[in-house]
A and B are shown apart, each in its own frame.
Chain A
Amino acid sequence: MAFESYQLKRADFIFKNENDWEKILSRTLSRPPQEIINELMSSELKGRGGAGFPTGLKWKLTAEESASVKYVICNADEGEPGTFKDREILSLVPYKVLVAMAVCGYVIGAANGFIYLRGEYKYLVPELNKAIKEFEYYCKEINHNFNISIFLGSGAYICGEETALFDSMEGKRGEPRNKPPYPTSSGYMGKPTVINNVETLAHTFTIFKYGAKKFYDLGVQYSRGSKLFSVSGDTPKPGIYELELGMSLQDFVEEFGDGDTKAVQVGGASGFLVPRKKFAETAIGYKGKLTGISLPTGGSMMLFNSSRSMYNVLDNYLEFFKEESCGQCTPCRVGCQQLYSGIKAVKRGEKPAQYLDKLLKLTETMQLTAKCGLGQSVANSFSSIVENFREEMIY
């Protein structure tokens, strides 16, 4: 196995555009589906939208379902505050995503695909539709039957969760469903569905084009390939960067920090806060070799310098969660309100400092019992902030 470096390495695959999508599409469609699945599996590409589920396996499971109607959905709800990588992909290289959807349709046996587009991205629709039209035209030319339509989201963060997204597309109130059944067997309209993040799909294009090895050679064990990061906060160079997975946070901060970085929130509101003293031992990936950091959401990296109050950071996240929880399940709906009110009560001295331990226990229950990823992941930011910056919570 190759030496694993944990160094920050830039990559340039996603936005590189060689206008060769027609060629890649027809070439890929001429391969047997099983071969495409194998290629994806050996690339070890994992979902870039949230749970990090192996993409090849997702396609394989859906392909194995016997239903005659199946769907491909591109999740472009991108609700995480401060992230806009999916928007950039859809604006700059939409064809990569469309190709990936069509190939997915070919592999699993679906004739229809949808792009669930975040409501705020409505202005992208005309351009996207133009691209879709041209794309479908080409598909017809090569005798491949695949239709893509755009579905505009409602603006609720929770509708990015795959099963809430299906409900929302079906005209219902977007609330996460019980799993199982998983989308691979019962998704949109109860049919087997592959739902992938925009970026995940764009990476499959890279794999179709260059082969799995090229992708696999990037990154480290368990975290292969590159990934888009939305860098924000106290940084002199905010923006979107494609980096290889597996870099140490230390390296990252050296590159993007302002010299006074106190902590980095990895993975947005549902991610973890890493304090300065743990930068060196933290790798950014799905199953970091160093500490076990995962990348729960879309690759948001928010840097905080010493002028920032971690209490305020947590307060913001909790306010976000208490409002964006769909509200159906008890641990999340009420838990978020308790955490939000709880840290305030401690700060004001209405509750003793030990109350924070009670709240930490509560987040364990939320993690164990909440119905979907939102409620389950509140514990991440809460515990990492409270445990590392306890004094800031109290005084």
Chain B
Amino acid sequence: MSEKINITINGMPVEVEQGKTILEAADQSGVIIPSLCYHKDLCVAGNCRVCVVEVVGQKRLSAACATPCEEGMEIRTNSLNVRNSRKHIIELLLSEHNADCTRCYKNGNCELQNLASEYKIMSQDFIPLAPQKKYTIDMFSPSIIKDNSKCIRCQRCVRTCAELQGVNALTVAFKGDEMKITTFFEKAMNDVVCTNCGQCINHCPTGALVERNYIEEVWEAIANPNLHVVVQTAPAVRVGLGEELGMQPGTRVTGKMVAALKRLGFDSVLDTDFTADLTIIEEGHELLSRLKKALVDKDKSVKLPMATSCSPGWIKYIEHMYPEYLENLSTCKSPQQMFGALVKTYYAKARKLSPDKIISVSIMPCTAKKFEANRPEMHDSGYRDVDYVLTTRELAIMIKQAGIDFYKLEDAKFDRLMGESSGAGVIFGATGGVMEAALRTVYAVVTGRDVPFENLDITPVRGMEGVREASIKIENPQPEWAFLDGVELRCAVAHGLVNAKKVMDDVAAGKSNFHFIEIMACPGGCLGGGGQPIPTSPEIRQKRAEAIYAEDAGMPIRKSHENPEILKIYEDFLIKPLGEKSHHLLHTHYVGRNRF
């Protein structure tokens, strides 16, 4: 227990734990202090200065986010001095800013705009500096647009990229009036180590970093009567979309989401969870085949641990940072890309459609998936497998544009053929979910029994700890898997690339003895993805995770290999896991990249 100290905030006595900042103390006592550079996920920077407050007896104002409380402190958050200073600071930020709100993608969800609105900055006393600045917009990336004219230099993105992702693609360069956020040698985001994870977008308070949106392209496709537009929805979208449309974080809206997509005019509304299940079958068998080669054939060339490959941010990260470990990656495509390849083959055939008349759209919690869909190798169907990737946020925009009252929608069901999924597919959206889903299936394949966890909930791999480890002992396997008898299957789960780095450094140092590792680029897994609702915070991600697990618990089928549509696709089309068709459509390869 840490010690308590007593302070007053605006005359009100408050008891806080020693070490808490003024901002935290205010927050706990219901006093709102505006902030911009502060973010719960990040280290304190204390650079925007909008959080300044008066500490009685001190000559200068103090940044509430950066000042620890001290016994007896008398804090004033709304004195004339404070208000005037704050207003000045907001005015200064605006004077340097291309405050063209009506043409801004963040219009309506912008922390700077909110502050300007709260403080009613109506006049423009200061000289507009933005026109003199040679601001640039970087639109080269398929995932991210970086518009320096909207940047307030709070460095949240820089801290995000360094502290959460360990990528350091963004840095501060130059000083004084030329200080700006940029990349290595001021290259385009597309030409540097950036993984397109979009975490910087989620943490940017303004419109300086936003996703590249494909809303108009999708509207056009929908409007074209000659095209059959298929949409797939990733697991985490169903626990984020409601939030983006004004509901509480963690609201599950699967049925409403499907209904809305149908109303938007998509010809078929299908589920990425289906290919999540398919991934489990393919990846599970891949793991077993690697284990067999390693344990039975004593084949030294087999790479273990095998790492999951469903997070394209993680893929690009390992391609840049650990190119010598690409063979450790599962060759499975991400569920999105498996889906894309199948839509223009399996689905087209079954529905008697010409693949060149199909547009495949995916709704993802992720901006890296936009990059992934754009990778040159993702044309295994003979066409571009996924044509457009929209984030949860873009879908919400379309729903609003279409005049759909989301709250009033009746639940609808996914269409057939690639719309059925298991609870295992759903939990792909949370960190540890792929591991849990894989274990449910692998254990069952090997032993013929369910995993030895109550309700199939493999709790050791759940949670928000950055790196989690678990092991599961295999006993009494089926004869075919006798070589696994008594083997302890060792697994690790990491989320956020900074944690991926920890795991990979251990692998590189030979300190790791895992068989299987799951890595998700984003904090919390896809539910905290770069395309999810803004703001994000540990509490919000926790709520979304609870929703994901509740969704899983409520599913009639909980294991990927029991999904009837999965059984059907193997029967009718793929024949067997890791078979020839799978190899062609569902698996891929990776490329080494440099570290800049």
Contacts and interface: CB of A to CB of B under 8 A. Distances in A.
Interface of A: 156, 158, 173, 175, 178, 180, 321-331, 333-338, 341-342, 345, 351, 358, 361-362, 365, 367-371, 376
Contacts of A325: 175-177, 179
B254 interface: no
Interface stretch (B88-96, B302-310, B318-326, B356-364): B88-96
A335 B153 CA distance: 14
B44 interface: yes
Interface of A is mostly: helix
A368 B92 contact: no
Given A327-B177, A333-B176, A336-B177, A371 B92 contact: no
Contacts of B47: 328-330, 371
Contact of A178 (B44, B89, B129, B175): B44
A54 B177 CA distance: 34
Contacts of B178: 323, 327
Interface stretch (B61-69, B102-110, B418-426): B61-69
Nearest to A156: B175
Given A325-B175, A328-B45, A341-B129, 13 more contacts: A173-B171, A173-B172, A323-B175, A325-B177, A327-B176, A328-B153, A330-B48, A342-B127, A351-B127, A369-B52, A369-B63, A371-B46, A371-B49
Max chain B Cβ within 10 angstroms of own Cβ: one of A321, A324, A330, A368: A330
Contacts of B152: 330
Contact of A337 (B49, B88, B89, B129): B129
Contacts of A362: 88
Contacts of A368: 52, 60-61, 81, 85
A280 to B, nearest CB: 28
Contacts of B44: 178
Contacts of A334: 92-93, 95-96, 129
B84 interface: yes
B179 to A, nearest CB: 3
A334 B89 CA distance: 9
Interface in B155-175: 155, 171-172, 174-175
B219 interface: no
Given A330-B92, A331-B89, A338-B126, A178 B46 contact: yes
Contact of B92 (A178, A321, A335, A351): A335
26 contacts: A156-B175, A158-B175, A173-B171, A173-B172, A178-B67, A180-B67, A323-B175, A326-B179, A327-B176, A328-B153, A330-B49, A330-B89, A334-B93, A334-B96, A334-B129, A338-B92, A338-B126, A341-B127, A342-B127, A351-B127, A358-B125, A365-B85, A368-B81, A369-B61, A371-B46, A376-B60
A101 B67 CA distance: 31
A106 to B, nearest CB: 31
Contacts of B93: 330, 334
B526 interface: no
Contact of B60 (A180, A326, A330, A367): A367
B73 to A, nearest CB: 12
Nearest to A321: B176
Contacts of B85: 365, 368-369
A156 B129 CA distance: 24
Nearest to B66: A178
Contacts of A358: 125
A335 B47 CA distance: 13
A323 B63 CA distance: 24
A351 B45 CA distance: 35
A348 B93 CA distance: 24
B50 to A, nearest CB: 7
Contacts of A376: 60
Contacts of B96: 333-334, 337
**10 closest residue pairs by CB, A with B:** A327-B179, A334-B92, A178-B66, A365-B88, A328-B47, A178-B46, A323-B176, A325-B176, A365-B85, A341-B127
Nearest to A326: B175
A323 B174 CA distance: 9
Given A330-B89, A334-B95, A370 B49 contact: yes
Contacts of A329: 46-49
B127 A322 contact: no
A336 B92 CA distance: 10
Nearest to A338: B126
Contact of A333 (B46, B125, B153, B171): B153
Contacts of A367: 60
Max chain B Cβ within 10 angstroms of own Cβ: one of A328, A336, A345: A328
Given A180-B68, A365-B84, A323 B177 contact: yes
A361 B85 CA distance: 9
Contacts of B68: 180
B102 to A, nearest CB: 23
A328 B127 CA distance: 20
Nearest to B54: A368
A328 B171 CA distance: 12
Contacts of B66: 178
A338 B95 contact: yes
A321 to B, nearest CB: 8
Contacts of A321: 176
A192 B96 CA distance: 38
Contacts of B126: 338, 342
B94 to A, nearest CB: 9
B369 to A, nearest CB: 32
Max chain B Cβ within 10 angstroms of own Cβ: one of A180, A361, A369: A369
Contacts of A369: 49, 52, 60-61, 63, 85, 88-89
Contacts of B61: 368-369
A370 B175 CA distance: 15
Contacts of A158: 175
A175 B49 CA distance: 15
Nearest to B81: A368
Contacts of B48: 329-330
Interface in B69-120: 81, 84-85, 88-89, 92-93, 95-96
Nearest to B97: A334
B63 A328 contact: no
A28 B155 CA distance: 47
A158 B172 CA distance: 15
Contacts of A324: 175-176
Nearest to A350: B127
A58 B177 CA distance: 34
Contacts of A337: 96, 129, 177
